[in-house]
Structure 1
Amino acid sequence: MTDTKTLYRPVGPKELKLIKESGWKAFPPRLPEQPIFYPVLNEEYACQIAKDWNVKASGSGYVTQFDVKANYLAQFEVQNVGGFIHDELWVPAENLEEFNQNIVGQIKVIHEFFPD
């Protein structure tokens, strides 16, 4: 049995479509202006981003949940970018394919947000 860590990723509808097209197995490559992939460590923070940023930017926001092999994640230092819930990992875009290979199981959508 592999030890895993549950992570979260807030996404908009375009990224969600690409995740679905992967069979719920992988996050899409980053755009050239996006050098870092930012999975977050807690559901509350992911919901905050999906509601406050993704809905405003693209009309809807989604929170994905997925498990990653813990031994793989050990190479990434936790980054706190604000309050006590604002913990995330900074995965270089060039490592995203390797990151995806260390996802165990499927990526799930656990929350959906739309404009009020």
Structure 2
Amino acid sequence: MKTQTLYRPVGEKEMLLIIESGYRAFPPRLEWQPIFYPVLNEDYASEIAEKWNTRDEAGNYLGFVTKFEVLEETVNRYPAQNVGAKNHNELWVPAEELEAFNQAISGTIEVTQVFIGKDFKQTAHAAIENVLFNIKKTHHDQ
């Protein structure tokens, strides 16, 4: 079956939940998050991880770029939405469809980049330490 590569920028809390799933699923959306937004290219995911996640206290000032393969037939259910610049393309997956979307992930979710914000001190999670140690990190000093 054919797949398409997608990306998602996440902070520390969401990364922990991905790790707990065995790198197989994204966590359910919170009550105030009606949409799951995977993006179509790594540059856009990196931009979000660096500019937003590294400034977010709730995500411990960490921005992880995740990469994953999804069955093409599932991806095609969600038309690409452009939300700004030419490369700012994402899918809008309703929160109630995330479980089915997760089941269409082929293989595992991998971390391709980590951005560390200037306010990051440390993590209390060994699993996050392992990711930080094993992935190319970009320190964000703004």
TM-score by length of 1: 0.98
- Residue 12 of structure 1 aligns with an amino acid whose one-letter code is G
For structure 1, the 5+ residue unaligned runs are none
- Residue 16 of structure 1 aligns with an amino acid whose one-letter code is M
- Residue 64 of structure 1 aligns with an amino acid whose one-letter code is T
> CA–CA distance in 1 between the matches of 2:27 and 2:74?
19
Equivalent position of 1:20 in the other structure: 19
Q: 1:70 aligns with which of 65, 72, 75?
A: 72
> CA–CA distance in 2 between the matches of 1:46 and 1:55?
13
Following TM superposition, the consecutive aligned residue runs of length 4 or more in structure 1 with deviations greater than 2 angstroms are none
- Residue 65 of structure 1 aligns with an amino acid whose one-letter code is K
Aligned length, in residue pairs: 115
Cα deviation 1:19-41 (Å, max 9, x = unaligned)? 00000000000000000000000
- Residue 9 of structure 1 aligns with an amino acid whose one-letter code is R
> CA–CA distance in 2 between the matches of 1:14 and 1:94?
20
Greater length-normalized contact order (CA 8 Å, ≥ 6 residues apart): 1
Q: 1:89 aligns with which of 75, 91, 94?
A: 91
Larger Rg: 2
Q: Secondary structure at the match of 2:32?
A: coil
After TM superposition, the structure 1 = structure 2 runs for residues 35-114 of structure 1, keeping only pairs within 5 Å, are 35-57=34-56, 58=59, 59-114=61-116
> CA–CA distance in 1 between the matches of 2:67 and 2:86?
20
For structure 2, the 5+ residue unaligned runs are 118-140
Q: How far is the alpha carbon of 1:72 from its aligned partner?
A: 1.3
